[in-house]
Amino acid sequence: MDKIRIFLMSRNSSRFFLFMLLFGFVGAACSPVLALPLPKTATPERLPTASAIPSPSPSPVPATATATVVATCSETTGSLETGVIDTGMLATPMRYKVYLPPCYTFNKNKHYPVLYLLHGQGSTEDQWIRIGAVSTADVLMASGDIPAFIIVFPFDYSYKQPFEYRFEDVFVQLLVPKIDSNYRTLSVAKYRAIGGLSRGGAWALHIGALHPNLFGTIGGHSPAIFYADDKSLPRNLLAIPAGMLPRIWLDSGDKDSEYSVVAPFEEFLSKNGIPHEWHVYIGWHNEEYWSAHVIRYLSWYAQAWK
């Protein structure tokens, strides 16, 4: 009896346990779900709008190099100035004209070679200008065929021989220093030349041979060599040290009245090994002949200054 009661009780207990377990599951299913707190997450950053994005500071733009405007001179003609040396050393003042090359007044810092050109007997300082020295210089310098240089045209009033009056002293002691003082010259022998036609050519040979320290170039165009220089001119040239010998040019027309004097002088130069140029052209002892060769003369003088 007791065993039967225990068995029933145990069965009832098991049923009760199962009943309760079942009731729990059903209750859980019907109960509202509790919202569990979610883990906090990082709030996403809000991207700024385009208008809110600060514009980057512009990189400095390197300054554009401004082209330096270099003023240039467009002159194609030179100018003439006049002067005078009034001294008791001569019976008549020494007038002279000075040719300043194109752009001389523009190029304030530039210095120039100087060519002294002497006229023939009975003429004046205008003779070289008249036969085309200035107009030819303008053309050759403007084209760049020759470098720019100054030309001086002195006046010799006399027909005398060198020892009879003081033209040489005035020329060397007063004229040359005055030109160097008043103009922007290259005042050394290499950049100073002396030349002349007829009597002026005789003066060029006479002064150049005596003063190689002043003149690095001598030009004799149909030179009417002084009879007083027959012996002294060769002697003076031979006395010049080899390193100081000037450049020498001689020319004559084949019908020139002075050819018989110039040719023997050229033979002396050749015989003694004195460097020089010798040219015989068709022509006479006149301005037509010299005018025809001015371009050759100026080009030759300029060769030393290129």
Q: Has residue 19 been placed in a domain?
A: no
d(CA 194, CA 207) in angstroms, rounded, equals 8
d(CA 132, CA 136) in angstroms, rounded, equals 6
Domain encompassing residue 124? 79-303
What mean pLDDT, rounded, does the chain reach?
85
d(CA 155, CA 200) in angstroms, rounded, equals 10
What does the pLDDT look like over 29-77, one tens digit per residue? 434 433 444 444 444 444 444 444 445 555 554 555 555 555 789 899 9
Q: Give CA 72 to chain center in angstroms.
A: 11
Pairing outcome for strands 94-100 and 150-154: antiparallel
Element at 295 (helix H, strand E)? helix 294-303
**pLDDT at 5 exceeding the cut of 90:** no
> Judging by beta carbons within 10 Å of its beta carbon (0-12, 13-18, 19+), is residue 154 exposed, middle or buried?
buried
Q: Has residue 51 been placed in a domain?
A: no
Q: Has residue 1 been placed in a domain?
A: no
CATH code (residue 203) = 3.40.50.1820
Q: Has residue 56 been placed in a domain?
A: no
How many CB atoms are closer than 10 A to CB 79?
13
> Judging by beta carbons within 10 Å of its beta carbon (0-12, 13-18, 19+), is residue 274 exposed, middle or buried?
middle
Check residue 112 and give its pLDDT.
Answer: 98
Q: How many residues in total does the chain contain?
A: 306
More confident residue, 191 or 15: 191
Structural domain count of the chain: 1
- Strand, helix or coil for residue 155: coil
How many CB atoms are closer than 10 A to CB 239?
10
Contact (CB, 8 A) for 147 and 305:
yes
Q: Has residue 33 been placed in a domain?
A: no
What does the pLDDT look like over 149-188, one tens digit per residue? 999 999 999 999 999 999 999 999 999 999 999 999 999 9
Q: Has residue 205 been placed in a domain?
A: yes
Q: Has residue 39 been placed in a domain?
A: no
What does the pLDDT look like over 212-238, one tens digit per residue? 999 999 999 999 999 999 999 999 999
What does the pLDDT look like over 201-213, one tens digit per residue? 999 999 999 999 9
Q: Report which of 175, 174, 170, 150 is spatially closest to residue 98, judged by C-alpha positions.
A: 150
Element at 98 (helix H, strand E)? strand 94-100
Q: Has residue 57 been placed in a domain?
A: no
